């Protein structure tokens, strides 16, 4: 397939809109929301009004009808300002994605409209206290009761868990069946028996809301099942193939920010009578940062472009996610090094970049899990 990674005029305009929004609304307050561990509801409402949310929801359901690449362009810009904001937006689309992947027209009309008309958030409930990487090992149970389903279990680490209007939830009919027992459901957050549990005290990305969500005999109608009763695992994997480029785009954003901050500081800070930018050791760190940015961005765009061509190549999404997350961790750590002692304090933004970046290697499949996906593909078992 011939790649065309050139951006259209519309996409350039999208970048400008997202960049302006980030500069005005996010970057100046990112430290505040981090410090106060606070969810930036009002700012995200303005992001919604500006057209930076629900990007991949088709216009027929009130969304922007954007591509995966469009979405990645926005995610990179938002992440430049704050990865926590970026994660809140990405998790909303992650909650909606199973509905896009497997929902009926009726389900899309009902649930996506609540995001696009009402400005509600969605959240994706897969992980549990004892099952993160091992999705097939989840233990939230579902049973059929008449024409309803009844869900019982506890989900952990749910981004937007405490603020979402509805959830996509993975539950198993029989844990012994592993991935073949898993189904995906849409659950209204107001359903009796749904409880928001503890809020995590996180190292970074503290503007994002991460909570337990508990389901105590939650009764939901049959029409809230997504796809087939044994199709939940496949829906989850298809969702990850589409969502991992967003995380890689977030990595590109934080890498670019770390590079910009480091470059500016290196030109200003003097040691031994010259700006540290004149020391080759610092120049090489900056050069590595620039290489990491270009590589992450290219891989992200290729993965997103392939998603947009309908080629759900797990391996490219995994390359982009694994490379981008690891590069972001390395680059933000190096940014702290460039700043010396000041980098280790809250006087400058780079310590936050480093704390925020760590999560990129953990959520939506850890860096190890991405390598497992890649190795399986390489060895012909993908
Ligand atoms: C802030 C935050 C937000 C999150 N948001 C969401 C969300 O919105 N929705 C959601 O469902 N989940 C969410 N998650 C959960 C996230 O996806 C999991 O934390 C992640 O998948 C890892 O699972 P775990 O924490 O259980 O680690 P484990 O699976 O216990 O893994 C522990 C370690 O072992 C490694 N490991 C595991 N298995 C293997 C293997 N076979 N080979 C080699 N190494 C292995 C892992 O890479 C990791 O280093 C979030 C997590 C965090 C921290």
CATH topology of domain 122-230: Butyryl-CoA Dehydrogenase, subunit A; domain 2 (2.40.110)
pLDDT of amino acid 10: 96
**Cα(231)–Cα(246) distance, rounded to whole angstroms?**
24
Average pLDDT, the chain: 96
Pick the atom of ligand 1 nearest to 159's CA: 8
Please tell me the total number of residues recorded for the chain in this structure. 382
| Average pLDDT estimate for 283-312 | 95
> Is residue 124 in contact with ligand 1, taking CB distance under 6 Å?
yes
Mutation test of ligand 1: which of 213, 362, 372, 376 has the most ligand atoms closer than 8 Å to its C-beta? 362
Instruction: Tell the residue nearest (CA) to atom 43 of ligand 1.
Output: 368
Ligand 1 centroid vs 368 CA: distance in angstroms? 10
Ligand 1 centroid vs 130 CA: distance in angstroms? 10
Query: Does the pLDDT at position 301 exceed 60?
Result: yes
Catalytic residues: 364
pTM: 0.97
Query: Does the pLDDT at position 382 exceed 50?
Result: no
pLDDT of amino acid 321: 97
Question: What is each CA distance from 197 to 156, 212, 227, in whole angstroms?
Answer: 9, 5, 28
pLDDT in tens, 176-211: 999 999 999 999 999 999 999 999 999 999 999 999
Ligand 1 centroid vs 329 CA: distance in angstroms? 17
For residue 134, give the H/E element and its range. Answer: none
> Is residue 358 in contact with ligand 1, taking CB distance under 6 Å?
no
| Residue ranges covered by each domain of the chain | 9-116, 122-230, 233-378
**Cα(166)–Cα(124) distance, rounded to whole angstroms?**
9
> Is residue 366 in contact with ligand 1, taking CB distance under 6 Å?
yes
Pick the atom of ligand 1 nearest to 208's CA: 1
**Cα(289)–Cα(284) distance, rounded to whole angstroms?**
9
| Average pLDDT estimate for 20-26 | 98
| Average pLDDT estimate for 141-154 | 97
Pick the atom of ligand 1 nearest to 366's CA: 47
Question: What is each CA distance from 294 to 20, 47, 100, 251, 288, in whole angstroms?
Answer: 22, 27, 31, 11, 10
| Average pLDDT estimate for 2-7 | 83
Dump the DSSP string for 249-313. Answer: HHHHHHHHHHHHHHHHHHHH-EETTEEGGGSHHHHHHHHHHHHHHHHHHHHHHHHHHHHHTT---
Please state the CATH superfamily assignment of the domain spanning residues 233-378 in this structure: Butyryl-CoA Dehydrogenase, subunit A, domain 3 (1.20.140.10)
- Domain 9-116 matching CATH 1.10.540.10: the answer reads yes
pLDDT of amino acid 5: 81
Residues 6+ apart with CB under 8 A from 49: none
pLDDT of amino acid 311: 81
Pick the atom of ligand 1 nearest to 161's CA: 8
């Amino acid at each position: 397939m011939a790649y065309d990674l050139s951006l259209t005029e519309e996409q350039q305009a999208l970048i400008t809109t997202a960049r302006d929004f980030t500069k005005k609304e996010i970057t100046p307050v990112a430290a505040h929301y981090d410090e106060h561990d606070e969810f930036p509801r009002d700012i995200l409402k303005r992001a919604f009004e500006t057209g930076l949310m629900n990007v991949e929801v088709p216009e027929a359901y009130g969304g922007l009808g954007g591509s995966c690449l469009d979405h990645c362009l926005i995610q990179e810009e938002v992440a430049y300002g704050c990865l926590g904001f970026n994660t809140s937006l990405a998790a909303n689309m992650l909650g909606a994605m199973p509905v896009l992947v497997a929902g009926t027209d009726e389900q899309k009309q009902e649930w996506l409209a609540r995001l696009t008309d009402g400005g509600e958030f969605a959240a994706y409930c897969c992980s549990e206290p004892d099952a993160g990487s091992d999705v097939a090992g989840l233990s939230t149970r579902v049973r059929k009761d008449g024409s309803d389903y009844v869900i019982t279990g506890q989900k952990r680490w749910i981004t937007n868990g405490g603020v979402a209007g509805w959830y996509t939830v993975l539950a198993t009919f029989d844990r012994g069946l592993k991935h073949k027992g898993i189904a995906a459901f849409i659950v209204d957050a107001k359903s009796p028996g749904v409880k928001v549990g503890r809020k995590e005290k996180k190292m970074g990305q503290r503007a994002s809301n991460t909570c337990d969500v508990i389901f105590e005999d939650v009764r939901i109608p049959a029409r809230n099942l997504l796809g087939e009763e044994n199709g939940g695992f496949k829906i989850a994997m298809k969702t990850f193939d589409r969502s991992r480029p967003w995380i890689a785009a977030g990595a590109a954003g934080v890498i670019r920010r770390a590079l910009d901050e480091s470059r500016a500081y290196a030109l200003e800070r003097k040691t031994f009578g010259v700006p540290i930018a004149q020391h080759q050791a610092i120049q090489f760190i900056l050069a590595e940062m620039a290489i990491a940015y270009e590589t992450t961005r290219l891989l992200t765009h290729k993965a997103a472009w392939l998603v947009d061509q309908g080629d759900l190549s797990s391996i490219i999404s995994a390359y982009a996610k694994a490379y981008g997350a690891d590069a972001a961790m390395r680059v933000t750590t190096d940014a702290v090094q460039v700043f010396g002692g000041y980098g280790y304090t809250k006087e400058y933004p780079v310590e936050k970049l480093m704390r925020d970046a760590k999560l990129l290697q953990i959520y939506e499949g850890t860096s190890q899990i991405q390598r497992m996906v890649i190795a399986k593909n390489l060895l012909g078992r993908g």
